[in-house]
C-alpha cells in the first residue's frame, strides 16, 4: 500500500473516515499551501451477499430457509498528503460474517503515516508507522474490497476467514523498497508489530473453553515480490513469525503460548484476456507451555490453489479454481486426529478440497455483481462460530454465493 510521489500505485489509495478528523485538524496548519487539500481523497465501498448451503453453515444459517444474508462489508477511507514525502491514510471497516449485529461494529482496518525517504524514477523507499495491512500473498492487503478479489470468497486454504484477524493487519512499523529494473520491478516489504489475535483465533484453537486472554506478542512479516514485463509474470515469497500469549485465569491451568510460522509462494501469469494464478503455503503452528499436555501441539499444514480467470465481453469474467487445505501434512486424511480424540471430532475437519466456479459482471465501474458455486470435500475452513459442534457437520457439501458490490 505504498504510493510514490512520481508514480501512483495501480491500486486506489485507501484510508479511513476515522482518520478524517485528524486530517481535518492538520489542514489549517498547512492552510497557506493551496495544494494540500487538493490531495485529500475519500472513498468507500459496500458489499452484500447471499450465502446458500445444502449442509453445514457458512456466515450465518446458510443451510436453513432461503440462505443467509449475514455477509456484509462496509468500508470508508480517507488519505491526505500534507507534504510531498508524507501520506496519512486510514480506513474504517464494518464487516459482518455470520454472528449477530454487534459483530459489525466499525473497526480500524488500517491507519498509518507513510514517509517516503526516497522516491525517483529508479527506486522508491519508505516506512509506514501505525496499523498496516500485512503483505501476505497476492490479495491480503486488499482482501476486504470486493473489486480487488477475483471471486466472492478468496481461496480459503490461504486466506482464512475463520482466523482472519491473525493475518489481517499489525500495529507497528513497516518498511518498503521498490527498485525498477530494465525488464521489471522488484518490491520488498518487512514489518514488525503486534497482530490482531481476535476471538476467531481463540475459537479455532479451542481456548474459548477456558477463562483467560489471548494477547498478541511482537511478530514479524516480510515479502519479496517481482513483477516482470509490466506485470505479465508476478512472483512473490513471504514469511512470518507470529506469536501470542494466553494469560490463563482458569484454575489449574498454566499460561501457554501460540506460534504461527508460514511460508507462502505466489505465482501469476497475466495474458491479454486471461490469468493463471497459484499459491502454495506451508504453515507451522502450535500451542506450547501449557501444563495440560492435551492442549499442546505442533503441526505443519499445507495449502495450495490453482486458479484460472477469463475476461470476455469487456465487462464479464469467469473463474475456475481448485483449492486444497490440509491441517497436518503428516495426517492428510485426518484419521490419526480422529483416533486421538476417540472419534469426538470427525476426520473431515482436518482438510478441505474445494472446486469453485465463479462469474463476475461489472455493468458500471462502480458496480460489481458476482456469483459462484463451491463443491467442498471436508470442513477444514468452516467458521467455528457457525458450526460449534464439529460432529454435526457433513463431509461433502455445496455452497452458492451471490454478491452485489458498490464503490465510490
- Length of the chain in residues, anyone? 408
Would you give per-residue pLDDT tens digits along the chain (408 residues)? Answer: 444 443 333 333 333 333 444 444 444 444 444 577 889 999 999 999 999 999 999 999 999 989 999 999 999 999 999 999 999 999 999 999 987 766 788 999 999 999 999 989 899 999 999 999 999 999 999 998 999 999 999 999 999 888 788 888 999 999 999 999 999 999 999 999 998 877 788 888 888 888 888 888 899 999 999 999 999 999 999 999 999 999 989 998 999 999 999 999 999 999 999 999 999 999 999 999 999 888 899 999 999 999 999 999 999 999 999 999 999 999 999 999 999 989 999 999 999 999 999 999 999 999 999 999 999 999 999 998 899 999 999 999 999 999 999 999
User: What's residue 167's pLDDT?
Assistant: 83
User: What's residue 34's pLDDT?
Assistant: 54
DSSP letter for 395, please. Answer: S
Report the alpha-carbon distance of residue 335 to residue 316 in Å, rounded: 43
Pairing of strands 233-248, 274-288: unpaired
Closest CA to 380 of 318, 343, 328: 328
Q: Which residues pair with 270 in a beta bridge?
A: 275
209-242 burial, b if ≥16 CB within 10 A, otherwise e?
Answer: ebebebebeebebbbbbbbeeeeeebebebbbeb
In a domain, 386, yes or no: yes
Closest CA to 323 of 270, 382, 278: 278
In a domain, 126, yes or no: yes
In a domain, 25, yes or no: yes
Closest CA to 72 of 401, 318, 372: 401
* Widest CA span in the chain: 72
In a domain, 9, yes or no: no
In a domain, 3, yes or no: no
Report the alpha-carbon distance of residue 69 to residue 98 in Å, rounded: 8
Q: What is the CATH number of the domain that holds 121?
A: 2.40.160.10
DSSP letter for 338, please. Answer: H
11-48 burial, b if ≥16 CB within 10 A, otherwise e?
Answer: ebbbbbbbbbebbeeeeeeeeeeeebeebeeebbbbbb
Q: Annotate 228-294 with DSSP letters as a single string.
A: ETTTTEEEEEEEEEEEEEEEE-STT---EEEEEEEEEEEEEEE-SSEEEEEEEEEEEEEEE--SSTT
Report the alpha-carbon distance of residue 408 to residue 368 in Å, rounded: 12
Domain that holds residue 101: 17-407
Contact indicator for 286, 262 with CB cutoff of 8 Å: no
User: What's residue 101's pLDDT?
Assistant: 63
Q: How many other β-carbons are positioned within 10 Å of the β-carbon of residue 105?
A: 9
The helix (run of H) or strand (run of E) holding residue 74 is strand 68-83
Domain count, the chain: 1
Q: What global pTM score does this model have?
A: 0.87
Contact indicator for 99, 385 with CB cutoff of 8 Å: yes
User: What's residue 376's pLDDT?
Assistant: 98
Cα torsion 152, 234, 185, 316 to 10°: value is -40
In a domain, 53, yes or no: yes
Closest CA to 235 of 264, 204, 194, 272: 264
Radius of gyration of the chain (CA): 22
Could you read off the pLDDT of 3-46 as tens digits, one per residue?
444 333 333 333 333 344 444 444 444 444 457 788 999 999 99
Amino acid at each position: 500500500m505504498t504510493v510514490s510521489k512520481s508514480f501512483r500505485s495501480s491500486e486506489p489509495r485507501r484510508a479511513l473516515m476515522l482518520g478524517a478528523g485528524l486530517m481535518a485538524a492538520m489542514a489549517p496548519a498547512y492552510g497557506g499551501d493551496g495544494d494540500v487539500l487538493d490531495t485529500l481523497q475519500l472513498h468507500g465501498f459496500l458489499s452484500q451477499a447471499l450465502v446458500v448451503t445444502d449442509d453445514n453453515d457458512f456466515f450465518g444459517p446458510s443451510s436453513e430457509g432461503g440462505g443467509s444474508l449475514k455477509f456484509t462489508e462496509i468500508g470508508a477511507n480517507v488519505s491526505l498528503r500534507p507534504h510531498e514525502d508524507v501520506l496519512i491514510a486510514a480506513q474504517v471497516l464494518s464487516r459482518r460474517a455470520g454472528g449477530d449485529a454487534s459483530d459489525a461494529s466499525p473497526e480500524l482496518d488500517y491507519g498509518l503515516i507513510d514517509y517516503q525517504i526516497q522516491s525517483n524514477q529508479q527506486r522508491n523507499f519508505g516506512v509506514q508507522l501505525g496499523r498496516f495491512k500485512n503483505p501476505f500473498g497476492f490479495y491480503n492487503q486488499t482482501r476486504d474490497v470486493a473489486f480487488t478479489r477475483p471471486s466472492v470468497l478468496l481461496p480459503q486454504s490461504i486466506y482464512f476467514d475463520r482466523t482472519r484477524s491473525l493475518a489481517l493487519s499489525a500495529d507497528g512499523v513497516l518498511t518498503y523498497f521498490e527498485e525498477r529494473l530494465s525488464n521489471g520491478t522488484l518490491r520488498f516489504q518487512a514489518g514488525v508489530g503486534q497482530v490482531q489475535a481476535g476471538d476467531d483465533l481463540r475459537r479455532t484453537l479451542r481456548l474459548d473453553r477456558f477463562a483467560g486472554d489471548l494477547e498478541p506478542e511482537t511478530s514479524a512479516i516480510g515479502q519479496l515480490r517481482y513483477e516482470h514485463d509490466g506485470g505479465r509474470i508476478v512472483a512473490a515469497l513471504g514469511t512470518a513469525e507470529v506469536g501470542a500469549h494466553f494469560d490463563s485465569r482458569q484454575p489449574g491451568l498454566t499460561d501457554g503460548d501460540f506460534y504461527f510460522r508460514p511460508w507462502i509462494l505466489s505465482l501469476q501469469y497475466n495474458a491479454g484476456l486471461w490469468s493463471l494464478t497459484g499459491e502454495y503455503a506451508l504453515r507451522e503452528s502450535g500451542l506450547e507451555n501449557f501444563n495440560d499436555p492435551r492442549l499442546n501441539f505442533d503441526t505443519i499444514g499445507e495449502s495450495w490453489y490453482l486458479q484460472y480467470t477469463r475476461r470476455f465481453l469487456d465487462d464479464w469474467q469467469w473463474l475456475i479454481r481448485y483449492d486444497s487445505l490440509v491441517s497436518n501434512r503428516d495426517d492428510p486424511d485426518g484419521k490419526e486426529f480422529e483416533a486421538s480424540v476417540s472419534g469426538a471430532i470427525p476426520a473431515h475437519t482436518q482438510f478441505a478440497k474445494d472446486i469453485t466456479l465463479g462469474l463476475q459482471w461489472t455493468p458500471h465501474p462502480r458496480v460489481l455483481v458476482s456469483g459462484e458455486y463451491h463443491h467442498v470435500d471436508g470442513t477444514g475452513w468452516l467458521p467455528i462460530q457457525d458450526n460449534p459442534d464439529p460432529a454435526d457437520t457433513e463431509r461433502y457439501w455445496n455452497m452458492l454465493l451471490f454478491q452485489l458490490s458498490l464503490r465510490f
